[in-house]
Structure 1
């Protein structure tokens, strides 16, 4: 299973390959910025939930369905006052998406 649903990405970008590349680059940068803070248990849960929400929305916009689902679960758990049980899954999903984006940029 691919980390980025290219049909969803095409739908979001109107099939514009240059725009898709730009959106993916922005998403990759956002992942690199958000993930370390989201996984930092010393930050307040509300702040981490907001970060998960932002990541969830960004992932939906590029077709990163697994990242979206994992971020959604993390957000819900954080808003409920619990430490997210599936942060490792989120980290792995982001890593897979970043690797796929990098591979696409090299092709």
Structure 2
């Protein structure tokens, strides 16, 4: 993100931020418009994924949803979401219906950060 973007989230642009803005900029080749687009896409996709995950009963589909969300999180630099997804994927292979509260919390935090970042 441009320095002005990081300034808008002062105090949350370091290692504790839900999104690594340097990784985001690298993955979008520094294209600010593309950064904004992928952040909007992540926000929308992650919300939809959580809704589908809550309703889905097929274990393999649930696993695919979490795996896809992990890839999307890595693409925008949302490391915490990706780590939670990775952990959840492991649990889903041995437990029929593992708790998803940690994933919901990580996605909510990331989406709030995106909202603050984009809305200033």
- Which of 40, 61, 66 is the equivalent residue of 1:47? 61
5+ residue gaps, structure 2, are 1-15
- In our comparison, the structure showing a higher alpha carbon Rg is 2
Which residue does the alignment assign to 1:23? 38
Aligned residues: 105
* Greater than 4 Å deviation, 4+ residue runs: none
SS in 2 for 1:93: helix
For 1:84 and 1:53, the matched residues in 2 are separated by 15
Quote the Cα distance in structure 2 between the aligned partners of 1:83 and 1:95: 21
SS in 1 for 2:30: coil
Structure 2 length-normalised TM: 0.81
Q: CA RMSD in A?
A: 1.3
What SS class does the counterpart of residue 39 from structure 1 fall into?
helix
Higher helix share: 1
Report the alpha carbon displacement of residue 4 of structure 1 after superposing the two structures with TM: 0.7
The residue aligned with 1:7 is 22
Deviation digits for residues 39-72 of structure 1, max 9, x if unmatched?
A: 34x5111110000000000000000001001111
Q: TM-score, normalised by structure 1?
A: 0.90
Aligned match of 2:116: 103
- Once the 2 structures are TM-superposed, how far is the Cα of residue 81 of structure 1 from its aligned partner? 3.8
Instruction: Please give the secondary structure, in 1, of the residue aligned with 2:57.
Output: coil
